[in-house]
Each structure stands twice: as structure tokens, then as C-alpha cells.
């Protein structure tokens, strides 16, 4: 039975990660090898695909895509936390908007975002935010807000009210309590929100596709250019290398996040 569990685990990991594994293998094959050997092994591993994609040309600029994704994601994650944290504090401690604001934002997670994409496209055109990192970052903030708010409200709900009251007796203002008392205590939740939000933002595609054309194209959209750009069929080797480079940052962060989650879980268990 134990062996069977291990077999199921290995099969599940291989099948679930199959597209990533195939792409990783293909990224180390030369064009010549790929045409005769589409299988799982590599006869002559090569880095030529990676060397090729790192050469910047006018149409495809992988460093530009990576920088756009990084900056837009950082804006989208940081701003979401800056907006959500005080609101979460007001919701958790003051009961402000628990009836209307909170459900509205939580349900936002379930609304197809394409609904807002078209008017936002027009709005951005009017104010000149189309095809800018800031514009994309602002939209990624919306994408991140629901989850950020839920996580932070739950985290603050878990803090004993006595902590706030003790600080209040010491003469701290609401604003001071929020920053000096609550913020340090929910630091793990803030970190988790940040990492998760960054991954979500990095992986967003729809708004990147609609709201950027050249200057602010994020990695997910830029990767699809490698499929469309080359006349006479896709160059699969370089395309694979691009996908690996584009998928690597959130995957690495995900491994970090996994540790964080299990870390904070064990910390909670020790405390309890």
C-alpha cells in the first residue's frame, strides 16, 4: 500500500507538471535534434536556445518583457496591500463595511474580469495609461485586491482585541495601533499576501493582452509573440526557452511560499 501511494504520487507529479517538463526538455534541444527526436531524452544538450533568446532585437525583447512584468507586478501587489491593509483593519476592528463592502469585493473574485476590460481600455486611452507599466500595475491591483482583503481581515480577526485595547490605554491613536501593534503581528500574512499577489500578477494575461501593445508588454503576452512572430512556423527551441524563463520566477517563488505557509503553520502550532 505504501509503494502504491508513492507510485500514485510520482505519476501525479509527472502528469500535472507534464507541460512544464516537456518544455524544459525541449529548451535544451537544438533545432536539428528536435526535428528527429521529439521524445523525452536529450542526445546533445545545448544552451543555444537560451543564448538566442537573450539577444535582443526590435520585435522581441525578453529583458523588456521581464522588466515590465516585474514592475507592473510590484505595483499591483504593493498597491493592493497598501489599500487593503487599512481597509481590512477598519473592517475587522470597526466592523466598517462588513455587510456591503466586504461581500462586494469578495464577490469580485468571481466576476469575469473581461466585463471591466473594455471600459478600462477606453478609460486608459483617454488618460494615456494604455501600454504603460503603471496602467497595467493599477489593473493588477484590482486583480489582487479580493484575496488580499480576505487574508488580511482574517489575520486581524485572529489577533486578540486586548492587544489593541492595551495600546489604546497607553494613549496610542487608531492609526498608531494599526501600524505599530497590528502590522508587526500580521507580518506573516502580509508576506504571504505579497508573494501570492506577485505570482498572480505575474501570471495575468488578459489585461496584458488588451492594455499593452509594445512598451509595457508583460512576459505572458511576450511569450506568445515568440509563437506568432517568426515567419514560416514556430521556432520551438527558442520558444521553449522563453516559456521556461517566463515561468521560472513564479515557480521559484511558489516553492518559497510553500515553505512560508508550512512555517507559519508550525509556528501557530507551537504557540497554541
Partner 1 sequence: MDIARRTEWKILASPLVVFLLLFLGFPAIVNLIYSLSQVSFESLRSPTLTGPQNYLDVLTDSSFWSACWFSLRFGLITAVAECLLGLFLAIFLAPLIEKHSFLMAPLMLPLMVAPAMIGLMYRLVLHEFVGPVPYYLYTFFGDSPSFLNADNAFWTLCVVEALQWTPFAFLLFYMAYQAIPLEVRQAAQIDGASPAQILRRIDLPLMLPTIVVAFFIRFIDGFRVFDNVYTLTGSGPGGSTTSLSIYIYEAFFKQGAIGKAVAASVVLFIASFAVLFGLNWLANRRRKAAA
Among 74, 76, 93, 136, binds partner 1 (CB under 8 A): 93
Q: Is 9 in the site for partner 1 (CB under 8 A)?
A: yes
Alpha-carbon gap, residue 157 to 98, rounded angstroms: 12
DSSP-derived 3-state class of residue 103:
helix
Q: Is 110 in the site for partner 1 (CB under 8 A)?
A: yes
Binding mask 114-133 for partner 1 (x = CB under 8 A): xxxxxxxxxx-xx-------
How big is the site for partner 1, counted in residues (CB under 8 A)?
91
Q: What angle do CA 143, 149, 155 make, to 5 degrees?
A: 140
Q: b/e for 54-77, b at 16 or more Cβ within 10 A?
A: eeeeeebbbebbbebbbbbbbbbb
Among 155, 186, 216, 239, binds partner 1 (CB under 8 A): 239
Among 47, 51, 54, 111, binds partner 1 (CB under 8 A): 111
Alpha-carbon gap, residue 189 to 89, rounded angstroms: 13
Q: Is 96 in the site for partner 1 (CB under 8 A)?
A: yes
Contact set for partner 1, span 144-183 (CB under 8 A): 145, 149, 174-175, 178
H or E element in which residue 142 lies: helix 133-157
Q: Is 112 in the site for partner 1 (CB under 8 A)?
A: yes
Binding mask 243-262 for partner 1 (x = CB under 8 A): x--xx--xx-xxx--x---x
3-state helix, strand and coil shares in percent for the chain, rounded to the nearest 5: 75, 0, 25
User: Pick from 128, 133, 139, 132: which is nearest to 79 by CA?
Assistant: 139
Contact set for partner 1, span 19-58 (CB under 8 A): 19-20, 22-23, 26, 34-35, 38-40
Contact of 75 with 133, CB cutoff 8 Å: yes
- Minimum distance of partner 1 from residue 195's CB (angstroms): 10
Among 156, 223, 238, 241, binds partner 1 (CB under 8 A): 223
- Minimum distance of partner 1 from residue 107's CB (angstroms): 5
CA–CA distance from 254 to each of 77, 198, 219, 231, 241 (Å)?
15, 10, 17, 36, 20
- Minimum distance of partner 1 from residue 223's CB (angstroms): 6
Q: Is 107 in the site for partner 1 (CB under 8 A)?
A: yes
- Minimum distance of partner 1 from residue 53's CB (angstroms): 14
Contact set for partner 1, span 197-216 (CB under 8 A): 199, 202-206, 209-210
Q: Is 134 in the site for partner 1 (CB under 8 A)?
A: no
DSSP-derived 3-state class of residue 37:
coil
Q: Is 18 in the site for partner 1 (CB under 8 A)?
A: yes
User: Pick from 7, 36, 10, 37: which is nearest to 22 by CA?
Assistant: 37
Amino acid at each position: 500500500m505504501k509503494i502504491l501511494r508513492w507510485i500514485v504520487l510520482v505519476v501525479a507529479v509527472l502528469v500535472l507538471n507534464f507541460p512544464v517538463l516537456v518544455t524544459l526538455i525541449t529548451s535544451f534541444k537544438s533545432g536539428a535534434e528536435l526535428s528527429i527526436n521529439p521524445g523525452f531524452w536529450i542526445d546533445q544538450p545545448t544552451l543555444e536556445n537560451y543564448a538566442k533568446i537573450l539577444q535582443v532585437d526590435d520585435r522581441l525583447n525578453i529583458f523588456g518583457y521581464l522588466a515590465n512584468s516585474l514592475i507592473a507586478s510590484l505595483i499591483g501587489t504593493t498597491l493592493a496591500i497598501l489599500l487593503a491593509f487599512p481597509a481590512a483593519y477598519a473592517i475587522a476592528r470597526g466592523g466598517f463595511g462588513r455587510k456591503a463592502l466586504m461581500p462586494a469585493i469578495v464577490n469580485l473574485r468571481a466576476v469575469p474580469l473581461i466585463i471591466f476590460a473594455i471600459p478600462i481600455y477606453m478609460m486608459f486611452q483617454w488618460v494615456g495609461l494604455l501600454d504603460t507599466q503603471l496602467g497595467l500595475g493599477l489593473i493588477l491591483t484590482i486583480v489582487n485586491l479580493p484575496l488580499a482583503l480576505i487574508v488580511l481581515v482574517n489575520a486581524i480577526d485572529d489577533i486578540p482585541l486586548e492587544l489593541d485595547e492595551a495600546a489604546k490605554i497607553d494613549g496610542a491613536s487608531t492609526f498608531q495601533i494599526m501600524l505599530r501593534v497590528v502590522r508587526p503581528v500580521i507580518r506573516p500574512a502580509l508576506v504571504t499576501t505579497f508573494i501570492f499577489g506577485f505570482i498572480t500578477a505575474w501570471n495575468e494575461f488578459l489585461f496584458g493582452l488588451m492594455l499593452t501593445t509594445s512598451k509595457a508588454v508583460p512576459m505572458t503576452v511576450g511569450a506568445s509573440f515568440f509563437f506568432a512572430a517568426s515567419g514560416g512556423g514556430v521556432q520551438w527551441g527558442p520558444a521553449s526557452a522563453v516559456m521556461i524563463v517566463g515561468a521560472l520566477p513564479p515557480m521559484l517563488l511558489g516553492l518559497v511560499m510553500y515553505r512560508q505557509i508550512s512555517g507559519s503553520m508550525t509556528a501557530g502550532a507551537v504557540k497554541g
